[in-house]
């Protein structure tokens, strides 16, 4: 786990209130799905999923509070302190095909997963759900990787009209297994539709590595910490409250 100041190479808005930050750091040799970022003036770090681990690292985040709003003001050439990578990762399982389902800013960690699946010679299909056309991002990036990408919007302003689950139900895809990340409502629907697979559970966090108990949830195996035991859990493992 690193704790280091990192040069920002790019910090641009790619959809409504959604920013892509490229960091001048190579994290490929480090396991972990997210980073804790330190924002000036805020004591608590912000947990943000890693979208792309390459010779540079890409994170994508939405400005949902004052901390992320402050992050969005950082410019190329500024530095940001990162702690991580933290948490576990989606496992690569047997089989030739993989279905990925994501909602909004739950989609970024599925990009790193899609890269790994495609590197393992698997055919990847991703269903991406957004509220409206202005929220859509990374459709082309998934297609450029070689994935089949489908988009839905709640208001029908782009792609299929409805949720990512409505989109799934409109396609003739296997219900055997999926990987998913997104808001709780999407994950609950995934848990109903699929008996096997993995979800990445988003949560408020504080320390990010298992010390403060801020992220505890109940599972069929007892209490677990999302930051340390997750954020990736098996479908059927979490007890939703």
Binding site for ligand FES (CB under 6 A): 205-208, 210-215, 225, 227
Shortest distance (Å) from residue 206 CB to ligand FES? 5
Cα angle for residues 23, 117, 57 (degrees, 5° grid)? 0
Q: 94 or 241: whose CB is closer to ligand FES?
A: 241
DSSP state of 93: P
Shortest distance (Å) from residue 205 CB to ligand FES? 4
| CA 152 centroid distance within chain | 17
Shortest distance (Å) from residue 11 CB to ligand FES? 25
Q: 29 or 241: whose CB is closer to ligand FES?
A: 241
Q: 177 or 209: whose CB is closer to ligand FES?
A: 209
Number of other CB atoms surrounding residue 123 within 10 Å: 14
Q: 18 or 48: whose CB is closer to ligand FES?
A: 48
Q: Tokens for 226? A: 């999302």
Shortest distance (Å) from residue 27 CB to ligand FES? 20
- Cα separation values, 176 from 116, 128, 164, 190, 195, Å: 20, 19, 17, 11, 7
Q: How far apart are CA 58 and CA 56, in angstroms?
A: 7
């Amino acid at each position: 786990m690193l704790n280091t100041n990192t040069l920002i190479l790019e910090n641009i808005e790619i959809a409504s209130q959604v920013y892509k930050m490229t960091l001048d750091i190579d994290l490929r040799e480090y396991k972990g799905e997210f980073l804790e970022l330190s924002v000036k003036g805020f004591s608590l770090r912000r947990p943000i999923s890693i979208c792309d681990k390459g010779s540079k690292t890409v994170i994508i985040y939405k400005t949902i509070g004052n901390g992320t709003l402050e992050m969005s003001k950082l410019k190329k050439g500024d530095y940001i302190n990162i702690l991580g990578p933290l948490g576990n990762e989606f496992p690569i399982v047997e089989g030739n095909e993989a279905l990925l389902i994501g909602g909004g800013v739950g989609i970024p960690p599925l990009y790193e997963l899609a890269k790994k699946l495609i590197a393992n010679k698997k055919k990847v299909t991703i269903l991406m759900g957004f509220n409206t056309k202005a929220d859509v991002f990374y459709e082309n990036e998934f297609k450029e990787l070689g994935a089949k990408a489908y988009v839905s919007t709640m208001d029908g302003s782009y792609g299929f009209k409805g949720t990512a689950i409505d989109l799934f139900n409109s396609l003739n895809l296997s219900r055997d297994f999926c990987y998913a990340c997104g808001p709780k409502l999407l994950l609950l629907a995934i848990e109903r539709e699929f008996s096997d697979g993995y979800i990445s559970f988003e949560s408020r966090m504080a320390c990010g590595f298992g010390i403060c108990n801020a992220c505890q949830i109940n599972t069929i195996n007892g209490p677990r910490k999302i930051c340390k035991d997750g954020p990736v859990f098996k479908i059927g493992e979490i007890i939703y409250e």
